[in-house]
Chain A
Amino acid sequence: MNTSVSDTPSDFGRFLVRFAMVLACGIVATMLLVILIDPYGLYGLLKPARFNTVKPGLTRYQEEIKQVQAERAHPALVILGNSRAEIGLDPKAAALPAEGRHYNLAIAGTGTSTTLRQLAHLQAAGVTPKTIIIGVEFLDFVPAATAPLVAAAAPAPVSVPAPAGFAFWKFDTLFSLASVKDALLTLRIQHDDEAATIDPDGFNPLKEYRGFVRTDGYPKIFAQRAQENARAFHRKSTTRLNPDDLQRLQAILQTAASMRSEIKLVIYPYHAQILALFDDAGLWPLFEDWKRHMVAAVAAARRAHPDARISLFDFSGFGQYNCEHIPEAGEPGTATKWYWEGGHFKKPLGDIVLTRVMSAADAPQAPFGFRLDASTMQADIDRIAAERQACVAANPVTFASARKLTEQASHAE
């Protein structure tokens, strides 16, 4: 049977008109949905309580969305860095100055190029924070062992391109399946204490980890991340740093200094497990070398900008916080106080970090947040060596398991 015989041209014409109307109405409706629910905090038309106050964690266009929010906030203090800063350093911390707004611009998985770009855009937008806290990540500076050697004499030029497709991301955050999904997710998570969210000041409270802790427990979370880290560290070069990243660090300091901001560089408080994995992967000498480069970069920036206020704090080591005991499966009281897992510290430790970072320039030296410069470099190395001995004695399992994971990673390759 061929039913098409009975269809007339007007039937097809009506079909096309209806189809076009459904499509047009659908396009308008989806755009309205995204604008009203505003999952990325870009429009702000509707803000009734418990409707869209809580925003879902950003999974795309983090740089663009955070940049827009930061520029709107005109913050007096910004925090830059990777996921360690994004989920550890809360702009609402009591230690931060009360005046002005603060914004956490840190983005997971990003490095020096993003930080440099973010600063350049802030500068271009006329946003000049009084204080800039920058988390610096050792691993960002270490190329893969297989990466081609770059001649140190001719590093790639530093460029500050605009975020790719600047206009398109605005359209894409308004009209896309992902935006519709995030809009609906926004409605769903208003009362969910374990949903991935982002605060209006850019801080990621990592609420989803509460669920992971409840279902899997800290032992497994630590173990899983340690496995991943051991594999990643095994693939890193143990002999060289990336000259492009070192050059970009210089550019970051120059840019921040030219904004007349006070710059506070933070070497993250890695958990002892991570440092043990560095050591077992053969990265330790490079780690110390990298710190020397940090010190040299700060000194160079001070020379170029004599008025600049730049300080470098080393929170790495094996002190009381870094050496927090990693719970074992079945161990009673398995919660940790300072760390979600080896790579990421919790807000309480982040608050201590911020307290130390905001302390007066003439405050006495402290083992946690050691002020680093050419004159204190050796003292810092000695401090860490002493802390390590005590940590090994207190938590030998942490070091033994790190060694085992490194061995497994080298066998797996």
Chain B
Amino acid sequence: MLFNSYVFLLAFLPVTAIGFFLIGRRSQLFAAAWLAAASLFFYGWWDVRYLPLLLGSITFNYVCAMQLRPGRHVRARLILTAAIGANLALLIYYKYAGFFAASFSELAGGSPILLHIILPIGISFFTFTQIAFLVDTFQGKVQESRFIYYLLFVTYFPHLIAGPVLHHKEMMPQFADRRTYRWSTRSVAVGTTIFFIGLAKKVLIADNIAPYAAPLFDHPGAPSLLLAWSGVLAYTFQLYFDFSGYSDMAIGLSRIFGVRLPLNFDSPYKSENIAQFWRKWHMTLSRFLRDYLYIPLGGNRHGSGRRYANLMTTMVLGGLWHGAGWNFVMWGFLHGVYLSIHQLWVAVAQALRFPVHATAWKWIATLITFMAVCAAWVFFRAPDMPTALTILHGMHGGFGIALPDSIMQRMHALQPLFDRLGVQSYLGGGSAFIEVWGWIVFAAAVSFLCPNTQQIVRHYEPALDFDPVLDRAAGSRGRALAWAPTGFWAVAIGILALASLLALNRPADFLYFQF
């Protein structure tokens, strides 16, 4: 069941919410059970065959966690290792067995082995969530351990399929809090607003820009400079509006139930360097990788050489988390290289007293960061390595520069410049060219110039780890767009909701469902 579907909006959500608050009046525990049952139904809607797998994983991890009592250190460490190993084995079987088999057969020079294993939706998210729970239980950080809340924590439908990656210490207390089970017009109003902003990002921007990205990656041919860049930029914005829209919807839905989720995006394309980008993109995954991989590996505690190695390891594994393929390894590796270069640059800039805080440099740095991220997305999206390299070749002008004939005809004055640059013309594709660049300009304006969702709703605690400093960061445009429960905002969000509902006729999957 998709958040952006009529069945979810008109049936599942109202029934679940009404049931939750009605039951919550009488019993907190039964209301939590109702919400967990609804979440399991939500999951089973896709493929009921994977429900036993999800329930088995939850039960197994809960039982293991209950054995991790403080004071039984050696035994507990063994249990922890075995439990994490079992979780990773499950993930590897479903997500990576096919990749390893195909890679092995390729190396051996034989015909490719196809295992046809279907990836259970959300497995990466619920596995990581539970590994974190095991580790924290082992470290004595877990306070609330009732099974029903644990079941709800893992299955909670707003985050189950594609995150945010939740941490038990921020969720379990909320599920145990009596106030969560009381109807709150404030929470419903704020949650509804956040949800519809997210829905609009998904169905009005991401889904409309998607058709301009797919042709380049599906049939790249020999893409000329502008065609290559338009396809890559279209995907760059599609992915951002799709995933951040999904995250907003998850945060908004959860808020309707009175539960605040952590932020997952914070205008990442505005980042001035790649480290900042990773603090603003898929923030809950970055946090997980930092806390459960980078720091345990040693982080930056053992010298710069080890720090770079840890960075590379974390990013490559982060890439593999997204998918089983060399393209994802390459994507993670590239980001590891970017982060290493950034670390080096920080040291050099400090030594040279480079004016990194100058406005002009910030613009340049933002542009460089954005272009580096775009180049890496090529590996993330391309179906294979040759396609990715072809597209990158096109982005560097390797296949020349070309414009649709109909557009060149209207630019007589620029003909001498075109001749000097060797710009060619091609028949057809004029309207598609205008449409894709129109969408790119629009999406870029929203991404770079507008406040993000949490900045718009900043006065109403939109998310768990919301930083009030964002209020200042939003700037004058942000201050003008500060949501409040007023008539103006009721009309604005009502119109946004209407436009989004009108665009639900072709519900498209969220990109991150495949991870």
Query: A-side interface residues toward B, CB under 8 Å?
Result: 1-4, 7, 9-16, 18-23, 26-27, 30, 172, 175-178, 180, 215-216, 220, 223-224, 227-228, 412
Contacts and interface: CB of A to CB of B under 8 A. Distances in A.
**Most interface-central of A19, A172, A177 (chain B CB within 10 A):** A19
A4 B486 contact: no
Interface stretch (B240-248, B259-267, B490-498): B490-498
Interface residues of B, number: 38
Contacts of A26: 494-495, 498
13 contacts: A3-B459, A4-B461, A7-B485, A15-B489, A18-B491, A19-B192, A19-B497, A22-B491, A22-B494, A26-B498, A27-B501, A223-B427, A412-B222
A166 to B, nearest CB: 15
Interface string B490-515: 11011101110111110000000000
Contact of B499 (A175, A177, A223): A177
B498 A172 contact: no
Given A12-B485, A23-B497, 13 more contacts: A7-B484, A9-B185, A12-B186, A15-B189, A16-B185, A18-B487, A18-B494, A19-B189, A19-B493, A19-B494, A22-B495, A27-B501, A224-B428
Contacts of A4: 459-461, 484
Nearest to A413: B221
Contact of A9 (B186, B406, B493, B501): B186
Contact of B189 (A3, A12, A175): A12
A62 B190 CA distance: 41
B493 A177 contact: no
B353 to A, nearest CB: 37
B188 interface: yes
A172 B485 contact: no
A396 B410 CA distance: 32
A110 to B, nearest CB: 20
A62 to B, nearest CB: 16
**Most interface-central of B185, B495, B501 (chain A CB within 10 A):** B185
A193 B504 CA distance: 33
Given A19-B490, A19-B493, A412-B221, A172 B505 contact: yes
Nearest to A212: B406
A319 B14 CA distance: 67
A74 B253 CA distance: 50
B467 interface: no
Contacts of A172: 505
Interface in B176-196: 184-186, 188-190, 192
B405 interface: yes
Contacts of A23: 494, 497-498, 501
A20 B490 CA distance: 8
A67 B292 CA distance: 60
B494 A16 contact: no
A176 B499 CA distance: 9
A29 B269 CA distance: 38
B427 A224 contact: yes
Given A16-B188, A215-B406, A227 B427 contact: yes
Contacts of B405: 216, 220
Contacts of B482: 3
Given A220-B427, A224-B427, A175 B502 contact: yes
Contacts of A7: 186, 484-485
A70 B428 CA distance: 34
Given A177-B503, A216-B406, A16 B189 contact: yes
B439 to A, nearest CB: 15
A27 B505 contact: no
Contact of A12 (B188, B468, B498): B188
A1 B459 CA distance: 8
A10 to B, nearest CB: 8
A192 B333 CA distance: 55
A16 B192 contact: yes
A228 B188 CA distance: 53
**Most interface-central of A12, A20, A223 (chain B CB within 10 A):** A12
A228 B428 CA distance: 10
Contacts of A11: 485
A30 B487 contact: no
Given A7-B484, A16-B188, A30 B427 contact: no
B512 to A, nearest CB: 24
**Most interface-central of A7, A15, A26 (chain B CB within 10 A):** A15
Nearest to B493: A19
A287 B405 CA distance: 34
Contacts of B460: 4
Nearest to A169: B505
A375 to B, nearest CB: 44
Nearest to A16: B189
The 9 lowest CB-CB distance pairs between A and B, nearest first, are A22-B494, A18-B490, A15-B485, A26-B498, A224-B427, A12-B185, A12-B189, A177-B502, A176-B505
